Structures are given as C-alpha cells and as structure tokens.
C-alpha cells in the first residue's frame, strides 16, 4: 500500500506549480495605484461599453448588480513579483455584458475613473475569464483596491485588472494603455513572464 505523504491531500496543484516564474507568495494584499484613489459614488457610477462603430451600452449600479452574479476564487499575479492565492471575488462576467453586443473588434481598451487605461485582446475578456468585480472576500470592494468596481482579469498580470473601471472601448486596432505605453508588455502572461516589451 502506498504511503500517504502528510499534507499532500489537496486536489490543487502544489504551491510551486501555482506560482509563476519569478514570483513570490504574499499573504497581504498590497495596494498599487499610479495616482490618487478616486471617490466614485455608486449613484453616479456607470459602466459604458463602446463598440468600434460607436454604439454604447451603459449599465448603472442597480443594473449591474441586478445581473446574474459570479463567485470567483482565483490567484493574483502582480508584475512587481508578488502573487496571492485564493482571492475571493463576486461580480458580473464580461460574457454577460458582451452578450448581444454586435462587434468585429479584436481589442479591448479599458478606461477607469481617474484616467488609468489598459489594453488586451477582446478574446481574453470572454469565456469566463474576466469580471466586473464589486465584492472582495464577502465585503464591498474597498476603494483602494478599485471599489466600487474593478475589472478582474486574473490570467494576466494584475496591471490589466483596472481599478475603478468606467468602461471598455472595443477596437479594430490595438492601442496601448497607461503602463503598456511606458514599457509594460502588450499581453502580460505571468506564466510566460511577459513583463516588459522585450519579453
């Protein structure tokens, strides 16, 4: 009979296999913001999806929170090399918001209250991989972490997960966001260590 290795009962991958190259694990939740934290009241909060032809789809806070909600437990990977396992979020899947939006765009340009921007292929926002998240660990998302709502795209480095998200522009041609124009990678896959332009 095979001996059981103590502590190896988890069905998840061992910690080493969950940590992308060049990352270290943190228990805390660091705050990384390029500017001041904007105060966005939910009564004036809007999320606007704009297609390449200029069609706009707008959600208010009551409309967003009335949609079917998803509970997500995921690992986060920041390009400054910290990773955090098993973070718990609640929000609306981008699949839900993109459903019925007529577009031929291949790129998404994400905008935030306060002026932050980031870009990614539109495909990365589909198939249950991206959310507009408003709840963290069972509580309203704190403002310093992007509340009232942020984009959550955890399979890419965390700079793609725009805090205080205000909208997404669907674009035929890719356009660099804030960090991307300053040398961060256009795609940012943590498993391929796509940190900067040359990676």
Ligand X SMILES: Nc1nc2c(c(=O)[nH]1)N[C@H]1C(S)=C(S)[C@@H](COP(=O)(O)O)O[C@H]1N2
Q: Of the ranges 17-25, 27-35, 47-55, 101-109, which one interacts with ligand X (CB under 6 A)?
A: 27-35
Q: Which residue is nearest to ligand X, using beta carbons?
A: 116
Q: Which does 109 bind (CB under 5 to 8 A by kind): Mo ion, ligand X, none?
A: none
**Residues near 54 by beta carbon (within 8 Å), at least 6 away in sequence:** none
Footprint (CB under 6 A) of ligand X, residues 60-79: 78
Q: How far is the CB of 80 from Mo ion (least distance, A)?
A: 5
Q: How far is the CB of 79 from Mo ion (least distance, A)?
A: 5
Q: Between vectors from CA 172 to CA 132 and to CA 33, what angle results, nearest 5°? A: 40
Q: Does 112 bind ligand X (CB under 6 A)?
A: yes
Q: Does 109 bind ligand X (CB under 6 A)?
A: no
Q: Tokens representing 153?
A: 């795209």
Count Cβ atoms within 10 A of the Cβ of residue 125 and give its class: 0-12 exposed, 13-18 middle, 19 or more buried.
Answer: buried
Q: Tokens representing 109?
A: 């340009």
Q: How far is the CB of 55 from ligand X (least distance, A)?
A: 25
153-180: burial string, b at 16+ Cβ within 10 Å, e else: bbebbbbbbbbbbbbbbbbeeeeebbbb
Question: Among residues 107 and 164, whose Cβ is nearest to ligand X?
Answer: 164
Q: How far is the CB of 45 from Mo ion (least distance, A)?
A: 24
25, 31, 32, 34: residue in contact with Mo ion (rule CB under 5 A)? 32
159, 168, 180, 185: residue in contact with ligand X (rule CB under 6 A)? 159
Residues that bind Mo ion (CB under 5 A): 32, 78-79, 159
């Amino acid at each position: 009979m095979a001996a059981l290795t103590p502590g190896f009962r988890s069905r998840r991958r061992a910690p080493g296999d969950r940590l992308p190259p060049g990352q270290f694990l943190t228990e805390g939740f660091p705050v990384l913001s390029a500017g001041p934290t904007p105060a966005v009241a939910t009564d004036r909060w809007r999320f606007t999806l704009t297609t390449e032809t200029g069609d706009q789809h707008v959600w208010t806070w009551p409309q967003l929170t009335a949609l079917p909600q998803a509970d997500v437990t995921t690992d986060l990977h920041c390009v400054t090399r910290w990773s955090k396992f098993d973070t718990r979020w609640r929000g609306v899947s981008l699949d839900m918001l993109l459903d019925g939006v007529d577009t031929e765009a291949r790129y998404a340009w994400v905008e935030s209250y306060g002026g932050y921007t980031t870009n990614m292929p539109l495909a990365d926002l589909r198939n249950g991989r991206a959310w507009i998240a408003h709840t963290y660990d069972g509580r309203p998302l704190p403002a310093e972490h992007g509340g009232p709502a942020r984009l959550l795209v955890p399979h890419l480095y965390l700079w793609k997960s725009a805090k205080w998200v205000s909208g997404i522009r669907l674009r035929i041609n890719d356009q660099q966001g804030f960090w991307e124009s300053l040398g961060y990678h256009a795609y940012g896959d943590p498993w391929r260590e796509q940190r900067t332009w040359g990676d």
